[in-house]
Amino acid sequence: MKNALLILAGISLFACSKKKDSISPTRGDITESIYASGTVKSVDQYQAYVSVSGIIEEIFVKEGQLVDVGTPLLRVSNETQRYNLENATLAANFNDAANNQGKLIEAEALVQTAKAKLKLDSSLYARQKTLWTQQVGTRVEFEQKELNYQSAKANYLSANQRYKDLKRQINFSSAQAKKNVQISARQSDDFILKSKVKGSILSLLKEKGATFGNNQDLRVMIPAQIARSIFSAPNINYDIDVKINNEALLNEAVDQATLTMRKVRRLSPIEEENFGIKRSDDLIQRIMENTKTLSIAAWVIGIITIFGSSIALMNIMLVSVSERTREIGIRKSLGAKRSTIAWRFFTETFVISQLGGFLGILLGILLGSGIAIAIGFSFTVPWIG
């Protein structure tokens, strides 16, 4: 009986015990592999980046500090932007209307001088015209007064127009220079990173002196064919940047790029290019083209000035001849030849023109030096260096 009870107790204990689960591994081929990674962030956490590149010059906050919307976080240093702002400020000071009043005063003085000359020649012409209607005086004198009047009128209109153009140009340059200063100053604000939310600083990812901007995490490099399949909108423009190590090979690189793009676009030799290539020295080339245009304009203005001066000098000598008819008659009576008298007047004309040229050069140098001293720039004579 005792043995029977022991057997029943053992059976009951074995039946009530919990059965353990077991895993039996098997061998086979891998059908799928999954890798995943992530970053744990708090609620409303964000990372702040600047839209420009440069070196962190100063950090205004510390970890754990509370900030409000618009609180400056750091400042990025960029010498190019600072130089652009300084150049814009210098240009604004140079083109300021208040600093160019001397030019306007000089132009206005020329207008008043031309107006006085026109008034004088007009009165002389009117008097000579009255005398001519009364058959007093010669036709040469009448035509001379008329020519003087027409020349003075043209000079007055020209001087008045130059004054208006100069005033409009000064006002335009002044307004444009001030606008460039505002643009440069606004761009300078991009180099100061400000908070867009209210919260606390969890961590500073950059230290003072580290580079900032052009975050590589925001860039994706994909093949061109995949980009075409993703961005399948019509008339998409692509920009390809190419850099060469030797500046002397720039022209050859441009030619090679042109041939390559013509092959890519499948253009025949007679078809025009449907793409554009921008060189790194395009700005220098545009400046050289503008310089050539200014040189041509300077030559044209110089020729017009010389032509006008020649007309004025011719009028002066014509008046001189008409007023010295008695002297010419006396010289002819004493045996002077026509060539001798003509050579005398030619010599006088040459001497007067040369003296006028030298006087103009001297006044130009003195005026340029005075303006340079007043503005604070160095004045350079072109043919001296």
Q: List pLDDT tens digits, range 347-365.
A: 887 888 788 888 988 888 8
- 176's CB contacts (< 8 A; 6+ apart) are 95
Q: Which whole-number Å values give the CA distances from 213 to 84, 193, 383, in the listed order?
A: 19, 11, 48
Q: What percent of the chain stands above pLDDT 90?
A: 1
Provide the 3-class DSSP secondary structure of residue 218. helix
Look at the block and give the residue holding tokens 């002397």.
Answer: 248
Q: Are residues 220 and 313 in the same domain?
A: no
Looking at 186, 211, 230, the residue that finishes a domain is 230
Is 243 part of any domain?
A: no
Looking at 199, 230, 261, the residue that finishes a domain is 230
On the 0-12 / 13-18 / 19+ scale of CB atoms within 10 A, 14 is exposed
Instruction: State how far the Cα of 379 lies from the Cα of 385, in Å rounded to an integer.
Output: 10
Q: What is the mean pLDDT of residues 65-76?
A: 82
Instruction: State how far the Cα of 218 lies from the Cα of 343, in Å rounded to an integer.
Output: 85
Looking at 230, 246, 271, the residue that finishes a domain is 230
Q: Are residues 215 and 312 in the same domain?
A: no
Domain extent at residue 325 = 291-379
Indicate whether 88 pLDDT > 80: no
Query: Token pair for residue 265?
Result: 């676009």
Is 356 part of any domain?
A: yes
**Residue 166 · residue 105 · CB < 8 Å:** no
Indicate whether 124 pLDDT > 70: yes
Greater confidence (228 vs 308) lies with: 308
Q: Which residues pair with 55 in a beta bridge?
A: 77, 211
Instruction: State how far the Cα of 385 lies from the Cα of 377, in Å rounded to an integer.
Output: 15
Is 2 part of any domain?
A: no
Indicate whether 385 pLDDT > 70: no
Q: Report residue 168's pLDDT band, with 50, 70 and 90 as the boundaries.
A: confident
Instruction: Give me the pLDDT at residue 14, please.
Output: 47
Total tally of structural domains belonging to the chain: 2
Indicate whether 41 pLDDT > 80: no
Is 271 part of any domain?
A: no
Instruction: Give me the pLDDT at residue 235, please.
Output: 63
